[in-house]
Amino acid sequence: VGDPETPLGPAAARHGLYALPMLSRLAARHPATAGGLLLPYRSVEVARQMAEWLVRRQSLRPTVLAWLRRHGRAAAAFLVPDAVGPAGRPRTHAEHALRQLAAEVGAEAVRETAAGYGAEAEEIVADLLAGDPLEAALPARMPSPCTWTDPALFPQIRLTGGRGALPDDAARHVTTMLQISKPGDVYPGLATVTEHCDAGSLAEFAWALFETWRFHGMPAKDSWALHALGLLGDDETVRRLTPLVRAWPGENAHHRAVEGLTVLAAIGTDTALRHLHGISQRVPFKALKKRAREKIDEVAEGLGLTTDQLADRLVPDLGLADDGSTVIDYGPRRFTVTFDEQLRPCVRDETGKLRKALPAPGVKDDPELAPAERKRFAALKKEVRTIASDQLRRLEAAMVTGRSWAAAEFRELLVEHPLLRHLVRRLVWLGDRDGMVTAFRVAEDLTLADVHDDAWTLPADATVRLAHPLRLGDELEAWADLFADYEILQPFPQLGRPVHAFTDAEATGHRLTRFEGATVPVGKLLGLTKRGWERGTPEDNGVERWFSRPIARDRHLVIALDDGIAVGMVDAFPDQTLETIWIDTAPGDYWGSHTYPHRLGEIDPVIASEILADLTDITAK
């Protein structure tokens, strides 16, 4: 019992059935990483969990199939009761699981197991296995056709292989399939549609449905038209939908925006996940940002990754060459594009001369190729601008938080990435193996070098972090001189970053009095949200009375504000006084009568330096 390669495998092997309740709760919360722990077990609860995953979690299908194959007919004994029970999700899930099990061990074996529950159960299961699964999946009450879904008004759905298009009647059936599908419970007939129809035309058909639904006022009863985008949409759908999702909370449509996040997650392409991650980081609506983060966490968990690891894998290479460049070909003229420390494009002609900008096509350039290439460059420039702001923020945050990468991840996802390499080689990194830490940089040829500019090899079992200047100690000045000698410009302040520390008196107390009483413009204060600070919860009259900076799971530096920030009217109180600043277990109001046991000296020196730098910056006159 138990997988020895899983950390909890030995516990499962040692404690057997006694460990099952704990493992079941763990697998339900973290199915991607802990689902495999249930493979040795057979019970009604485990069978229900596996059946649910089969229907609702496509990424867990291999785990479910492994469980079904492992237990065979014995698995059927735990699925049959739900499959012949009352209508509802458990029955639907069990029916799907029994059909899958019949494909694995044979329908006769499943029927024989059902016979053990009586003749009625045997008959129900026999009908289930003999019946058409598409008919069985239909709801008891079919929805009425929408008056606005006339296929004649929508783009045609083309068949694959140039075999023509679906007639209007067939397109109406596709619309009905979309109507009866729900998130996590998709009508199985759509799988046949997507198999035989052109994906691009399906996406256009779904978008036309969605736009028509919007035109008719987006009635809630027909929100299936929004979720249809998650079933049939593509990357172009993502680019069209994302601006709407960002705007909907400001139009009193928060619930619809949350549904939009579900659609982006359902589309699930790298482009969709990048846009979802962008909403989770950069949107003015706090509640929507939180839900987007939850969706990203769900996707990351489903892949067995952390949110940061998923974000690393979502950075597109934009079709760049391995050396991080691309060539813009005008025919007679060719230009090479690389990127500077801010990922701004740098254009050089064939002589290597740096141009201020990509020139417009001339009369001697290829009349078809040159305009197309200039358009490609414009699109590349626009996409890189968005990516750059995200990646600069992520790397700077990683330097502050001390986030680490495994050596293989560092090389594959950062050093060898054709776009990120332009940032990676302009920073100082720390390689840590068994407590032995070496600072290094990535040279232009992607080799590694230490502070003496000697070649250095990163051990395969090492971890890598970005070096905060406080972590470089006595080597800081030498690194600064080396980068100056090579004229290496950094993407954000690292070697020249100001460092700060609490005074001895501050470190032993819970309040940071040196900034108390300072008055700052509300705009400067809100700017701190880009550096990890968080706005408070609206209290009386919709006013946020505090601002806070998370330090650890149960530690926050909190600022009590006077007059506070008015939600939706941030200019109502244009100047904010930093009334009280203290360390606490959670953000909230400051009470002089309370005892505050934590001390500022408990804060990690790097986090402390960043907090002091932020407060120094916003209070500077």
pLDDT at 432 over 90: yes
Contact 407, 396 (CB under 8 A): no
Can you read off the two tokens belonging to residue 185? 């419970």
Closest C-alpha among 344, 607, 304 to residue 489 = 344
To 5 degrees, how large is the angle CA 132–CA 135–CA 141? 160
Residue 492 is predicted with a pLDDT of 96
Q: How confident is the prediction for the chain on average, in pLDDT?
A: 90
For residues 422 and 24, the model is more confident at 422
pLDDT at 300 over 90: no
- In single-letter form, the type of residue at position 547 comes to F
> Phi/psi of residue 295, each to 5°?
-65, -45
Q: Measure the CA–CA gap between 180 and 135, rounded to whole angstroms.
A: 12
What are the residues whose beta carbons fall under 8 Å from the beta carbon of 312, sequence distance 6 or more?
A: 405, 409, 413, 414
pLDDT one-digit tens code per residue, 17-73: 777 888 888 888 777 778 888 999 999 999 999 998 887 776 677 888 899 999 999
What are the residues whose beta carbons fall under 8 Å from the beta carbon of 436, sequence distance 6 or more?
A: none
- The H or E element spanning position 497 is none
pLDDT one-digit tens code per residue, 472-499: 999 999 999 999 999 999 999 999 999 9
345-348 and 334-339: which strand pairing?
A: antiparallel
Q: Measure the CA–CA gap between 24 and 17, rounded to whole angstroms.
A: 11
Q: What secondary structure letter does DSSP report for 197?
A: B
pLDDT one-digit tens code per residue, 178-201: 999 887 778 878 888 988 999 999
Residue 258 is predicted with a pLDDT of 92
* Of 162-176, 235-249, 283-297, 428-442, minimum mean pLDDT range: 283-297
What are the residues whose beta carbons fall under 8 Å from the beta carbon of 153, sequence distance 6 or more?
A: 208, 212
Mean pLDDT confidence for 368-383: 95
Closest C-alpha among 273, 274, 261, 279 to residue 299 = 273
pLDDT at 3 over 70: no
pLDDT at 150 over 70: yes
pLDDT at 444 over 90: yes
CA 326 to chain centre: 28
Mean pLDDT confidence for 511-533: 94
What are the residues whose beta carbons fall under 8 Å from the beta carbon of 575, sequence distance 6 or more?
A: 519, 520, 521, 522
pLDDT at 12 over 70: no
Residue 306 is predicted with a pLDDT of 86
CA 442 to chain centre: 28
Residue 6 is predicted with a pLDDT of 45
